[in-house]
Each structure stands twice: as structure tokens, then as C-alpha cells.
Structure 1
Amino acid sequence: MVIVQMANERHVQGIVDVCTRAYRITSQDFLTKEYIDRRCEEFFNEKRVHKEVTEHSPYWGGYFVALEGACVIGTGGGGMTGQETGELFVLYIEPDRRNEGIGSKILQAITEQQKGLGAKEQWVSVQKDNALGIPFYEARGFIFQKETQSYESNLEDNAISLRYKREI
């Protein structure tokens, strides 16, 4: 049985592993290896994830984890970017566990957290050409808003984000 809960220090390595594996597989067909390596090193390292598991604020609500026993099989997190605006910053599932409803459960937990903080709308950035993420978010009511250069990317990285929004 899969349980979704707030992450704690015991989940740090599982979060690092799931995010790194899923990001690499999801992005390998449309982002450079160098860009993928930079992103993994910056965002999915033990020191940063440990801090993000133990320090929460309205802007960062912490990681939620999907657990099967003690094993992390999915993770996600978000926060508030405005008084009534939530943002989903990260959502990754073990690649061989997709299409089991795990991502939906994590998204629901994050959404409930943000609604509790006053969010009326929720945003997410999805890499252009992400054939796994785009249909997931669109099926959950997110509507395309605009295309932007991805966070901290260079033009040669070919990292384009699609911004999506939904009312919650």
C-alpha cells in the first residue's frame, strides 16, 4: 500500500535517488547531459534536500513522499509564491512506478497544503517536449499560459519551460 506523508530526515536519500533517476530519464531526450548534470547537482544533493526536508516556510512547504513500506517511490513539493498563488516546484515518481496514481496522490497533498494557506490558483513549470509531464498536468486541469526560458539556463541548453496554471 502506498502512503503519502510529509518527508523527514529518514527520507532524504530516497528523495535524492527518485528525483535524480526520474529527472535524468524524463529529460534525456531534450536537454543536454551537461544541463541535466548541473540541475541534479544543484537541486538533488543530500545537503540541499536535508535542508528542504527540515526547514519549511510558506514559500517552501517541504517535501511530501509516497512510501511503500519504508521505500520512497515518489516525491514532490511546492509553496506559496503569492497571497493566493501556489506553485508546484517538484514532482517525481520512480520511473517504473508511473501510471499507478502515485503522482496524483502527491499533487493532491501539495494542493491541500496550499489551499490551507489561501491558494486559489496553482502554477507549475514543465519542460517543453516533456511527453510524460505535460499530459499529466493537463489531465488535472492545468492550462498552458506561456513559454519561458528555464530557470538558470543558457540559450545553448535548449531548456524551455511551459508555464501552466489551474484554479484550485
Structure 2
Amino acid sequence: MSDAVAVREATVEDVDAVAAVARDSWYAAYGGFLDPATVEQALGENYDPELVEAGIEHDDVAFFVAEVDGEVVGFASAERTWADEVELHTIYVHPDRWGEGVGTALFERVAEWAREQDVDRVACGVFTENAVGVGFFEALGFEAGVEAQAEVAGELHPETEYEYDL
């Protein structure tokens, strides 16, 4: 079992670590239903260092990293998108750390931030074929809602909208 998870606000010094966690997480969680070329294109589009840095520095985006023994092993970002809702944009944990409470610690920090925004719920979209993500959100108490289509590197994939009441 690992040492305690520490969740803190991300800084620009975390950009490379965030991209590395994203890469390993995407292949582990999405590799069964996304083509490797699609994963690579999506990683390039979504985790370009300048884009990650902009997300970290954006005043309206909450961006947190989780550390174990000083190493970034996960991250999450969220934004208040409606008067009564925070959207969880990302939450990824390095696959070597799945099941150790890292994702839960990140979500708890996002939920705390969402309560500070005085909203009623946290919402997110999860690829329907992402068994790891679906299981994670359902275990936290998220409720599945409408089915939608999410665009990834020019391809459409089924997505389930989830909501968590605060």
C-alpha cells in the first residue's frame, strides 16, 4: 500500500507530469476501444504543454494534482459551467495507482471546490465503453443520465453523462 495521497493545486511545473499521467491513463483505460492513432492524436490535442499550462493558470478552472511520495500520480480539473453546476473536465490517475484512493482524494477536493462555488452538483461525461471510469464514478455515487456522443480526434464515441449531487 502506498503512503498518503496529498492533493494540491497544480502549478506550471506540473505540466510534464500531467501529460505523462494522461498518456498512461488513456492507453490503460481507452486502449480497448480507441485505436492507438486516435489516442495519440487526442493526447496531442488535449495535452499540448501550452494548453495544459493555460488550464492550470486559468482563473475559472480548478486544477489539482495528487502526489504520493512527492510524485504526481493523478490530476483533475473542473470548471463552473452553469449557475448550479460544476463540470468535471478531467480526472486521471496513473494506472499503477488505480485502487489506492488517489482518484477518490482528487474527487473529494474537486467536490470541496464545487461546494465553495455554491453549486448543486458536479457533472461529467464518461465514455460508455470506459469500464474503469464508469465503475469509478458509480462507486462514488454518481448517477448515470443521458447518453450522448463525444468527439475524440474526429471520431464520435458513445458517452454517458453523470451527475453527483452535492
Q: Which amino acid aligns with 1:145?
A: G
| Between 145-154 and 135-144, the greater mean CA deviation after superposition | 145-154
- Give structure 2 stretches of 5+ with no counterpart: none
* C-alpha displacement of 1:145: 0.7
Name structure 1 gaps, 5 residues minimum: none
Partner of 2:165: 167
Aligned residue in 2 for 1:78 = 78
Higher strand share: 2
SS of the counterpart of 1:64?
strand
Letter of the aligned partner of 1:48 in structure 2? L
Instruction: Choose from 29, 32, 35 the match for 1:29.
Output: 32
Mapped contact 1:16–1:44 kept (Cα < 8 A): yes
Shift of 1:158: 4.9
Which amino acid is the alignment partner of residue 21 of structure 1? D
- State the match for 1:19 in structure 2: 22
The structure 1 residue matched to 2:41, chosen from 38, 42, 50, is: 38
Relative to the length of structure 2, the TM-score reads 0.92
1:5 aligns with one of 8, 16, 20: 8
How many matched pairs?
163
Which secondary structure state, in structure 2, belongs to the residue aligned with residue 159 of structure 1?
Answer: strand
Q: How does 1:9-158 map to 2 (within 5 A)?
A: 9-57=12-60, 60-61=61-62, 63-151=63-151, 154=154, 157-158=155-156
- What is the percentage of aligned positions where both structures have the same residue? 23
Does the CA contact (< 8 Å) of 1:31 and 1:158 recur in 2?
no
**CA deviation after TM superposition for structure 1 residue 153, in Å:** 5.8
Q: 1:18 is aligned with what amino acid?
A: V
Alignment RMSD: 1.4
Please tell me the residue identity of whatever aligns with 1:73: V
Q: What stretches of structure 1 move > 2 A for 4+ residues in a row? A: 32-35, 151-154
TM-score normalised to structure 1 length = 0.91
CA contact (8 A) 1:75 1:92 kept: yes
